[in-house]
Amino acid sequence: MGRKVRVWDGPLRIFHWLLVISVTTALYTGWAGGGLIDWHARAGLAIIGLLSFRLAWLLLGSTYARLSTLLCSLLALPQYLRGDWRQLGHNPLGVLSVFAMLGMLGWQAVSGLFTNDDIAFTGPLYKLVSSSLSAEMTSLHRLGFWIIIALITVHILAIVLHAVIKKHNLVKPMITGTTEQEYPEQKSAQGGHWLAFMCALAIALGAVYLASGEWQSKPPPAPASAPAW
């Protein structure tokens, strides 16, 4: 049995599981609608914050969370297909899955800011676009629901296949942060410490504030009607 090495840092693991909770909430409340639509909007803002954090963490995070590592992994796709993959972190197909998932979730969360349901709900940035563009984005937003369901299904199937065929538990390292070293050249992740976390968190909070529309000027209150006497 190889020694344990650090592969996923704490902030990345927290991001991952908060994203699971937020996406699950968004999918359920979006499907149910009605009185849960406000919770759907809150989940969407949470997803925007989390994705903004992850984008920052591509540059500030530890070794296997960084964009440079993901791109190097992607370039090694031919090696992976030949069975010569010997690196920690996401394999090349996993990188493609990550990019597809984050990209689609990003589109879904951002488009939701401009949507409306033709009844009572409007996204926080609805007023910034025309009604026709809002209607188009609402239609695409609804279509995106099924694309995300498909991506999640593929993601879960990949985890199951790795567990059954390759005997690799992909879930445990995302909980503990560590995995068994299989080859001598595999090194523990470096970086991703508290200062980097605080910077990424500030970026995430700023993104949520911008997406919430709280910075928009509020309409003046309606004048009080004069007494009828």
Give pairs for 142-148: CB < 8 Å, separation 24+: 144/104, 144/107, 144/108, 144/111, 145/27, 145/30, 145/31, 145/108, 147/104, 148/23, 148/27, 148/104, 148/105, 148/108
Per-residue model confidence (pLDDT) at position 226: 59
Pull the structure tokens for residue 147: 């694309």
Per-residue model confidence (pLDDT) at position 152: 97
Pull the structure tokens for residue 92: 């090349």
Average pLDDT per run of 10 along the chain, which is 229 residues long? 86 98 97 92 98 98 96 94 88 94 97 91 94 96 96 96 91 94 83 95 98 86 64
Reference 66, options 47, 88, 48; nearest CA is: 88
Please state at what angle helix 67-75 crosses helix 37-60, rounded to 10 degrees. 80
Pull the structure tokens for residue 7: 């592969």
Residues whose CB falls within 8 Å of the CB of residue 26, separated by 6 or more in sequence, listed in order: 40, 43, 44, 47
CB count in 10 Å sphere of residue 152: 16
Reference 209, options 60, 52, 102; nearest CA is: 52
Q: How many CA atoms lie within 13 A of 129 on its CB side?
A: 20
Per-residue model confidence (pLDDT) at position 229: 63
Amino acid at 81: L
Q: Model's pTM, two decimal places?
A: 0.92
Residues whose CB falls within 8 Å of the CB of residue 85, separated by 6 or more in sequence, listed in order: 76, 79, 91, 92
Domain formed by 8-183+197-212, architecture: Up-down Bundle (1.20)
Amino acid at 26: A
